Homo-oligomer: A and B are copies of this chain.
Amino acid sequence: MALTSEQRAEIEAQRSEPQLTSRPTVAAMENLLFTPFEVLDHGFLRVVDYMGDDGAVVQAARVSYGRGTKKVSEDAGLIRYLMRHRHSTPFEMCEIKFHVKLPVFVARQWIRHRMASVNEYSARYSILDREFYLPAMDQVAAQSSSNRQGRSDALDADTAHQVLEILRRDASQCYDDYESLLNPEGRGLARELARINLTLNTYTQWYWKIDLHNLMHFLALRADPHAQYEIRVYAEKMIEILKAWVPATAAAFEEYRLGAFTLSAGMLKVVRRRLAGETVTQENSGLTKREWSEMAAVLDGAS
Protein backbone atom coordinates (compact mmCIF):
# COMPACT_ATOMS: atom_id res chain seq x y z
CA MET A 1 0.00 0.00 0.00
CA ALA A 2 1.40 3.30 -1.10
CA LEU A 3 0.16 5.45 1.78
CA THR A 4 0.85 4.97 5.45
CA SER A 5 -2.05 5.38 7.81
CA GLU A 6 -0.31 8.46 9.16
CA GLN A 7 -0.28 10.03 5.69
CA ARG A 8 -3.94 9.17 5.20
CA ALA A 9 -4.83 10.83 8.49
CA GLU A 10 -2.89 13.96 7.54
CA ILE A 11 -4.74 14.23 4.22
CA GLU A 12 -8.08 13.57 5.87
CA ALA A 13 -7.42 16.36 8.34
CA GLN A 14 -7.22 18.84 5.48
CA ARG A 15 -10.78 18.13 4.40
CA SER A 16 -12.85 21.10 5.39
CA GLU A 17 -16.53 21.30 6.11
CA PRO A 18 -18.40 21.60 2.81
CA GLN A 19 -19.52 25.17 2.23
CA LEU A 20 -21.91 26.84 -0.16
CA THR A 21 -20.45 28.44 -3.27
CA SER A 22 -21.85 30.12 -6.38
CA ARG A 23 -18.82 29.03 -8.38
CA PRO A 24 -19.15 26.28 -11.00
CA THR A 25 -19.10 23.01 -9.08
CA VAL A 26 -18.69 19.48 -10.43
CA ALA A 27 -20.30 16.82 -8.26
CA ALA A 28 -17.99 14.06 -9.52
CA MET A 29 -14.95 16.15 -8.57
CA GLU A 30 -16.24 16.86 -5.08
CA ASN A 31 -16.14 13.12 -4.54
CA LEU A 32 -12.54 12.97 -5.71
CA LEU A 33 -11.22 15.76 -3.51
CA PHE A 34 -9.04 14.48 -0.67
CA THR A 35 -9.00 10.98 -2.16
CA PRO A 36 -5.44 9.91 -2.84
CA PHE A 37 -5.09 7.53 -5.79
CA GLU A 38 -2.18 5.16 -5.36
CA VAL A 39 0.36 5.14 -8.18
CA LEU A 40 3.51 2.96 -8.35
CA ASP A 41 4.68 1.43 -5.07
CA HIS A 42 4.70 4.48 -2.81
CA GLY A 43 3.34 7.30 -4.96
CA PHE A 44 -0.04 8.95 -5.07
CA LEU A 45 -2.01 11.61 -6.86
CA ARG A 46 -4.88 13.57 -5.42
CA VAL A 47 -6.94 16.54 -6.54
CA VAL A 48 -6.56 19.43 -4.10
CA ASP A 49 -8.68 22.02 -5.89
CA TYR A 50 -10.23 22.79 -9.28
CA MET A 51 -11.70 25.82 -11.04
CA GLY A 52 -14.30 25.70 -13.81
CA ASP A 53 -16.03 22.99 -15.79
CA ASP A 54 -17.08 22.30 -19.40
CA GLY A 55 -19.43 25.26 -19.14
CA ALA A 56 -16.56 27.60 -18.28
CA VAL A 57 -14.85 26.67 -21.56
CA VAL A 58 -18.01 27.49 -23.48
CA GLN A 59 -18.59 30.69 -21.57
CA ALA A 60 -15.11 31.98 -22.38
CA ALA A 61 -15.38 30.97 -26.03
CA ARG A 62 -18.69 32.78 -26.32
CA VAL A 63 -17.23 36.00 -25.09
CA SER A 64 -14.71 35.72 -27.84
CA TYR A 65 -17.41 34.79 -30.33
CA GLY A 66 -20.06 37.14 -28.98
CA ARG A 67 -23.74 36.56 -28.65
CA GLY A 68 -24.13 34.92 -32.05
CA THR A 69 -23.31 31.33 -31.23
CA LYS A 70 -25.75 30.93 -28.41
CA LYS A 71 -28.46 29.79 -30.76
CA VAL A 72 -26.56 27.75 -33.28
CA SER A 73 -24.40 25.49 -31.26
CA GLU A 74 -24.79 23.53 -28.11
CA ASP A 75 -21.97 23.13 -25.65
CA ALA A 76 -20.46 19.79 -26.63
CA GLY A 77 -20.50 20.72 -30.29
CA LEU A 78 -18.71 23.98 -29.59
CA ILE A 79 -16.12 22.17 -27.48
CA ARG A 80 -15.50 19.68 -30.29
CA TYR A 81 -15.14 22.56 -32.73
CA LEU A 82 -12.66 24.37 -30.49
CA MET A 83 -10.59 21.22 -30.04
CA ARG A 84 -10.60 20.32 -33.74
CA HIS A 85 -9.49 23.76 -34.80
CA ARG A 86 -6.96 24.13 -31.99
CA HIS A 87 -8.64 27.18 -30.48
CA SER A 88 -6.91 26.55 -27.24
CA THR A 89 -7.46 29.69 -25.17
CA PRO A 90 -10.94 28.80 -23.85
CA PHE A 91 -9.44 25.62 -22.35
CA GLU A 92 -7.03 27.77 -20.36
CA MET A 93 -10.03 29.04 -18.39
CA CYS A 94 -10.18 25.91 -16.21
CA GLU A 95 -7.54 25.07 -13.65
CA ILE A 96 -6.69 22.05 -11.51
CA LYS A 97 -4.31 21.51 -8.60
CA PHE A 98 -2.81 18.16 -7.64
CA HIS A 99 -0.77 16.92 -4.71
CA VAL A 100 1.59 14.30 -6.12
CA LYS A 101 4.09 11.92 -4.57
CA LEU A 102 6.54 10.64 -7.16
CA PRO A 103 10.13 9.38 -7.57
CA VAL A 104 12.76 12.02 -8.29
CA PHE A 105 13.56 10.64 -11.76
CA VAL A 106 9.87 10.99 -12.69
CA ALA A 107 9.80 14.50 -11.24
CA ARG A 108 12.72 15.38 -13.49
CA GLN A 109 10.71 14.49 -16.63
CA TRP A 110 7.52 16.07 -15.31
CA ILE A 111 9.08 19.45 -14.47
CA ARG A 112 10.04 19.92 -18.11
CA HIS A 113 6.47 21.07 -18.68
CA ARG A 114 6.98 24.71 -17.87
CA MET A 115 3.42 25.98 -18.19
CA ALA A 116 2.47 24.92 -14.67
CA SER A 117 3.04 26.03 -11.09
CA VAL A 118 4.88 23.82 -8.65
CA ASN A 119 5.91 23.79 -5.01
CA GLU A 120 8.13 20.88 -4.11
CA TYR A 121 9.00 19.48 -0.71
CA SER A 122 12.42 20.93 0.12
CA ALA A 123 15.22 18.59 1.10
CA ARG A 124 17.28 21.63 2.08
CA TYR A 125 14.68 22.40 4.71
CA SER A 126 13.35 18.99 5.73
CA ILE A 127 14.34 15.37 5.82
CA LEU A 128 13.07 13.02 3.13
CA ASP A 129 11.33 9.79 4.10
CA ARG A 130 12.87 6.35 3.57
CA GLU A 131 10.80 5.62 0.48
CA PHE A 132 12.18 4.68 -2.90
CA TYR A 133 10.68 3.24 -6.03
CA LEU A 134 11.26 -0.40 -6.97
CA PRO A 135 9.59 -1.59 -10.17
CA ALA A 136 7.10 -4.42 -10.08
CA MET A 137 8.48 -7.69 -11.47
CA ASP A 138 6.76 -7.30 -14.84
CA GLN A 139 8.31 -3.87 -15.29
CA VAL A 140 11.92 -5.00 -14.85
CA ALA A 141 12.53 -4.93 -18.57
CA ALA A 142 15.39 -5.17 -21.02
CA GLN A 143 16.67 -2.34 -23.16
CA SER A 144 14.69 -2.14 -26.40
CA SER A 145 16.83 -2.82 -29.44
CA SER A 146 14.48 -1.01 -31.85
CA ASN A 147 13.85 2.06 -29.71
CA ARG A 148 16.96 3.58 -28.20
CA GLN A 149 14.98 5.29 -25.47
CA GLY A 150 12.54 2.55 -24.54
CA ARG A 151 12.27 -0.78 -22.82
CA SER A 152 11.48 -4.17 -24.23
CA ASP A 153 10.06 -7.31 -22.62
CA ALA A 154 10.39 -8.15 -18.95
CA LEU A 155 13.57 -9.93 -17.92
CA ASP A 156 13.32 -13.48 -16.70
CA ALA A 157 12.32 -13.90 -13.08
CA ASP A 158 15.79 -14.75 -11.80
CA THR A 159 17.45 -11.80 -13.42
CA ALA A 160 14.61 -9.51 -12.35
CA HIS A 161 15.09 -10.62 -8.76
CA GLN A 162 18.78 -9.81 -8.96
CA VAL A 163 18.02 -6.40 -10.42
CA LEU A 164 15.53 -5.59 -7.70
CA GLU A 165 17.93 -6.78 -5.06
CA ILE A 166 20.63 -4.45 -6.36
CA LEU A 167 18.26 -1.48 -6.55
CA ARG A 168 16.98 -2.15 -3.06
CA ARG A 169 20.42 -2.63 -1.57
CA ASP A 170 21.94 0.53 -3.07
CA ALA A 171 18.97 2.74 -2.21
CA SER A 172 18.95 1.38 1.35
CA GLN A 173 22.65 1.87 1.80
CA CYS A 174 22.47 5.42 0.49
CA TYR A 175 19.51 6.23 2.74
CA ASP A 176 21.22 4.74 5.78
CA ASP A 177 24.24 6.91 5.10
CA TYR A 178 22.02 9.96 4.49
CA GLU A 179 20.58 9.52 7.96
CA SER A 180 23.97 8.96 9.45
CA LEU A 181 25.41 12.06 7.75
CA LEU A 182 22.51 14.15 9.03
CA ASN A 183 22.55 12.93 12.58
CA PRO A 184 23.18 16.00 14.77
CA GLU A 185 24.67 13.77 17.46
CA GLY A 186 27.10 12.48 14.85
CA ARG A 187 28.37 14.26 11.78
CA GLY A 188 25.61 16.88 11.56
CA LEU A 189 26.13 17.51 7.86
CA ALA A 190 23.92 20.20 6.31
CA ARG A 191 20.72 18.76 4.87
CA GLU A 192 21.39 20.42 1.49
CA LEU A 193 24.57 18.35 1.24
CA ALA A 194 23.48 15.09 2.80
CA ARG A 195 20.67 14.68 0.29
CA ILE A 196 23.10 14.47 -2.63
CA ASN A 197 23.83 10.94 -1.43
CA LEU A 198 20.30 9.74 -2.22
CA THR A 199 19.43 7.73 -5.32
CA LEU A 200 17.19 8.97 -8.12
CA ASN A 201 14.38 6.60 -7.19
CA THR A 202 13.81 8.38 -3.87
CA TYR A 203 10.28 9.74 -3.51
CA THR A 204 9.56 13.44 -3.36
CA GLN A 205 6.22 15.30 -3.42
CA TRP A 206 4.79 18.53 -4.72
CA TYR A 207 1.76 20.65 -5.34
CA TRP A 208 1.27 21.03 -9.09
CA LYS A 209 -1.25 23.40 -10.65
CA ILE A 210 -2.01 23.69 -14.37
CA ASP A 211 -4.73 24.92 -16.68
CA LEU A 212 -6.87 22.53 -18.71
CA HIS A 213 -5.21 23.31 -22.05
CA ASN A 214 -1.72 22.69 -20.76
CA LEU A 215 -2.87 19.64 -18.81
CA MET A 216 -4.09 18.06 -22.05
CA HIS A 217 -0.79 18.90 -23.72
CA PHE A 218 1.01 17.18 -20.84
CA LEU A 219 -1.30 14.17 -21.07
CA ALA A 220 -0.95 13.83 -24.84
CA LEU A 221 2.81 13.52 -24.39
CA ARG A 222 2.96 11.56 -21.14
CA ALA A 223 0.11 9.11 -21.71
CA ASP A 224 1.69 8.25 -25.05
CA PRO A 225 3.05 4.70 -25.37
CA HIS A 226 6.53 6.16 -25.95
CA ALA A 227 6.53 7.89 -22.57
CA GLN A 228 8.35 6.06 -19.79
CA TYR A 229 6.02 3.70 -17.94
CA GLU A 230 6.65 5.33 -14.57
CA ILE A 231 5.27 8.72 -15.66
CA ARG A 232 2.61 7.21 -17.92
CA VAL A 233 0.80 5.66 -14.99
CA TYR A 234 0.34 9.10 -13.45
CA ALA A 235 -0.91 10.47 -16.77
CA GLU A 236 -3.39 7.64 -17.18
CA LYS A 237 -4.82 8.27 -13.75
CA MET A 238 -5.19 11.94 -14.63
CA ILE A 239 -7.13 11.08 -17.77
CA GLU A 240 -9.67 9.31 -15.56
CA ILE A 241 -9.88 12.44 -13.43
CA LEU A 242 -10.25 14.54 -16.58
CA LYS A 243 -13.30 12.49 -17.58
CA ALA A 244 -14.92 13.13 -14.22
CA TRP A 245 -14.11 16.82 -14.28
CA VAL A 246 -14.88 17.93 -17.86
CA PRO A 247 -16.58 15.05 -19.67
CA ALA A 248 -17.29 16.90 -22.93
CA THR A 249 -13.74 18.21 -23.15
CA ALA A 250 -12.32 14.78 -22.31
CA ALA A 251 -14.39 13.19 -25.10
CA ALA A 252 -13.20 15.77 -27.63
CA PHE A 253 -9.63 15.26 -26.41
CA GLU A 254 -9.85 11.54 -27.11
CA GLU A 255 -11.44 12.10 -30.51
CA TYR A 256 -9.07 14.78 -31.78
CA ARG A 257 -5.84 14.15 -29.89
CA LEU A 258 -5.33 10.78 -28.22
CA GLY A 259 -7.08 8.79 -30.94
CA ALA A 260 -6.04 10.99 -33.86
CA PHE A 261 -3.21 10.56 -36.35
CA THR A 262 -1.47 13.28 -38.32
CA LEU A 263 -0.77 12.49 -41.96
CA SER A 264 2.30 14.30 -43.24
CA ALA A 265 2.17 15.89 -46.71
CA GLY A 266 3.83 12.78 -48.10
CA MET A 267 1.50 10.38 -46.29
CA LEU A 268 -1.47 12.39 -47.52
CA LYS A 269 -0.37 11.82 -51.11
CA VAL A 270 -0.12 8.08 -50.47
CA VAL A 271 -3.60 7.92 -48.96
CA ARG A 272 -5.06 9.85 -51.89
CA ARG A 273 -3.41 7.48 -54.34
CA ARG A 274 -4.67 4.45 -52.47
CA LEU A 275 -8.20 5.83 -52.19
CA ALA A 276 -8.08 6.41 -55.96
CA GLY A 277 -7.41 2.71 -56.39
CA GLU A 278 -3.67 2.68 -56.85
CA THR A 279 -1.48 0.11 -55.14
CA VAL A 280 1.29 1.93 -53.34
CA THR A 281 4.41 0.33 -51.89
CA GLN A 282 7.02 1.81 -49.63
CA GLU A 283 9.41 1.90 -52.57
CA ASN A 284 7.19 4.09 -54.71
CA SER A 285 5.60 6.00 -51.82
CA GLY A 286 8.20 8.69 -51.33
CA LEU A 287 8.20 7.88 -47.62
CA THR A 288 11.07 6.59 -45.56
CA LYS A 289 10.79 3.05 -44.21
CA ARG A 290 10.15 4.42 -40.76
CA GLU A 291 7.38 6.75 -41.92
CA TRP A 292 5.86 3.97 -43.99
CA SER A 293 5.70 1.58 -41.07
CA GLU A 294 4.36 4.24 -38.69
CA MET A 295 1.56 4.94 -41.17
CA ALA A 296 0.87 1.28 -41.95
CA ALA A 297 0.55 0.52 -38.24
CA VAL A 298 -2.22 3.07 -37.96
CA LEU A 299 -4.05 2.68 -41.26
CA ASP A 300 -3.74 -1.04 -41.84
CA GLY A 301 -3.31 -2.32 -38.32
CA ALA A 302 0.13 -3.69 -39.25
CA SER A 303 2.95 -3.14 -36.82
List residues of chain A with CB under 8 Å of any chain B CB: 14-16, 18-25, 30, 33-34, 48-52, 56, 59-61, 63-68, 84-86, 89-90, 92-93, 95, 97, 99, 103-105, 107-108, 111-112, 114-115, 117-122, 124-127, 133, 135, 139-144, 148-152, 155, 159, 162-163, 166-167, 170-171, 173-174, 177, 180-182, 184, 187-193, 195-202, 205-207, 209, 211, 221, 226, 228, 254-256, 258-268, 271-272, 274-275, 291, 298-301
Determine if A166 and B149 form an interchain contact, defined as CB atoms under 8 angstroms apart: no
Determine if A121 and B66 form an interchain contact, defined as CB atoms under 8 angstroms apart: yes
- Report Cα–Cα, A41/B256, bound state, in Å: 40
- Residues in B with CB closer than 8 Å to A265 are 254-256, 258-260
Determine if B125 and A148 form an interchain contact, defined as CB atoms under 8 angstroms apart: yes
Determine if B108 and A108 form an interchain contact, defined as CB atoms under 8 angstroms apart: yes
Write 21 A-B pairs (CB below 8 A) sorted by A numbering: A18-B22, A20-B30, A22-B34, A51-B51, A64-B119, A84-B291, A86-B221, A104-B108, A111-B112, A140-B189, A143-B188, A155-B188, A163-B181, A166-B197, A167-B197, A197-B200, A259-B268, A260-B264, A261-B262, A272-B300, A275-B275
Determine if A124 and B111 form an interchain contact, defined as CB atoms under 8 angstroms apart: no
Determine if B166 and A122 form an interchain contact, defined as CB atoms under 8 angstroms apart: no
- Residues in B with CB closer than 8 Å to A142 are 188-190
Determine the main DSSP class of A at the interface with B. Answer: mixed
Determine if B190 and A143 form an interchain contact, defined as CB atoms under 8 angstroms apart: yes
